[in-house]
Amino acid sequence: MTFFRPVVPALLATALAVLPAAAASFTDSQRGEIETIVKDYLLSHPEILEDVSNELAKRQAAAEAVKHQEAVQKNADALFNSPRGVVLGNRSGDVNFVEFFDYNCGYCKRAMADMLDLLKNDPKLRVTLKEFPVLGPGSVEAARVAVAVRMQDPTGKKYLDFHQKLLGGRGQADKAKALAAAKDAGLDMTRLEKDLASPEIDATLAENFKMAEDMGLNGTPSYVIGKEVVVGAVGLDGLSKKISEARCGKATC
């Protein structure tokens, strides 16, 4: 019962607030009687509070989904067509799958296997990777190197190799580890060092952060799949379901 008691006053206030306008004419005594009746009922039937909580969560989720869809529509061009994203898979695919990630995100490390599995088994999927370094200076350093890698690799093949080496590596990612991963992936290191001073680096990260802010993203991994925003590492099955929903409107096509 301890869990429910703090909720009762709020529900009492809500119940009174939604009564007809005539409730304003209730006397203090009448209002007290109403509050007692509502309180006694709720304390006798605490299970109703769970129903109320579930319904509130459902409505909030629906409102959030609408907000996300509006943000996706607003940012559609940058999300799906910006040359600053790394495009993998089928560039003419029927479903857009955009991932915002951080090289120091443990959940992103595990989610990388899901993304690679989807790339391998879904020939109609268009995957776009966007650096979203939110976990400190090392993450920003690694993301800057990643952008420089993208600048000299329009195909995305070397970028993906670099991405796997850095995100799959041990310890905290930073500039040194990112440069080592780029070298292992066969990038031109002289050009990469030069590109690190390019204004394109800041422009790319600024664009990614602007999109994330508009969509209310504050963690990684976060995804845009079709028109829907998906926050968190939901696993391969969860991602596959969202892709199917974007493709044919149901969990499995």
CA dihedral 120, 111, 100, 193 (to 10 degrees): -80
Going from N- to C-terminal start, the domains of the chain cover 76-248
Q: Give the residue with greater pLDDT, 161 vs 14.
A: 161
User: In angstroms, rounded to a whole number, what is the distance separating the alpha carbons of residues 187 and 179?
Assistant: 9
Work out the average pLDDT over 68-93: 90
pLDDT of 199-218, one tens digit each?
999 999 999 999 999 888 88
Q: Which of 129, 132, 106, 134 is nearest to 118 (CA)?
A: 129
Determine whether domain 76-248 maps to CATH 3.40.30.10: yes
pLDDT at residue number 22: 53
Confidence of residue 224 (pLDDT cuts 50, 70, 90): very high
pLDDT at residue number 15: 52
pLDDT at residue 4 tops 60: no
Q: What pTM value is reported for the model?
A: 0.75
